[in-house]
Amino acid sequence: METLQVKDKTFAISIPAAEIQQQVRRVAAEISKDMAGRDPLFLPVLNGSFIFAADLLREVNIPCEVSFIKLASYQGTNSTGTIREVIGLASDITGRDVIIVEDIIDSGLTMAHMIETLQKQNPASISVCSLLVKPDALKVQIPIHYRCMDIPNDFIVGYGLDYDGFGRNTKDIYTLV
């Protein structure tokens, strides 16, 4: 079994690059079909989705724009833990069909908060596109229009996702052993 050492933790390969690419192409084709004639604005969420976004966008074959956003964490004292604020939204999204591009949806709290924030700027529509979803971890109901793969409730790294800042630079996805 192919393993990856990231700092003090050992990970084993769980989704090979070829499967990722196949699913990314499938989702890009779905988006290209659904969004034809709508000139969507993709909003990939840094840092985790930078590799996914780069691969996805190169497979999307309709006119579109891309603008990266980021989430700044600050310590929240509510029951849901840390609240993360959307920063860096450079484009005017009023009247636009926006597609949020995420690396992974776990509890869904981050995405729920992001949808709520973006909604205030009156886009024509908001779609969610996530590379990975952990269905068993979802704590809130959020619409996930496009997803490449569902995974179990394990911690993964690679293909943009990190463990303590490291491990993003791999073609495959790895699961904590």
Which positions are catalytic? 106
Name residue 177's amino acid. Answer: V
Specify the residue, 92 or 154, whose C-beta has the smaller distance to ligand 5GP. Answer: 154
| Contacts with 80 (C-beta within 8 Å, 6 or more apart), sequence order | 109
Establish if 109 lies at the interface with ligand 5GP (CB under 6 A).
yes
**Residue 110 touching ligand 5GP (CB under 6 A):** yes
Choice from 40, 48, 108, 158 touching Mg ion (CB under 5 A): 48
Looking at the DSSP assignment, which residues form a beta bridge with residue 146?
Answer: 129
CB of 140 to Mg ion, least distance (A): 16
Opening angle at CA 171, ends 168 and 175, nearest 5: 65
Rounded to the nearest 5°, which phi and psi values hold at 14?
Answer: -125, -30
Closest approach of Mg ion to the CB of residue 39, in Å: 25
CB atoms within 10 A of CB 78: 7
| Residue 156 contacts residue 139 (beta carbons within 8 Å) | no
84's enclosing H/E stretch is strand 83-87
Q: How far is the CB of 55 from Mg ion (least distance, A)?
A: 16
Q: Is residue 161 part of the contact set for ligand 5GP (CB under 6 A)?
A: yes
Please identify which residue in 11, 40, 44, 103 interacts with Mg ion, judged by CB under 5 A. Answer: 103
Q: Phi/psi at 56 (nearest 5 deg)?
A: -60, -50
Stretch that binds ligand 5GP, among 24-32, 36-44, 101-109, 121-129 (CB under 6 A): 101-109
Q: Taking every pair of C-alpha atoms in the chain, what is the biggest distance, in angstroms? A: 49
Of 15 and 111, which CB lies nearer to ligand 5GP in the complex structure?
111
Site residues for Mg ion per CB under 5 A = 48, 103
Binding site for ligand 5GP (CB under 6 A): 48, 102-111, 155-157, 161-162
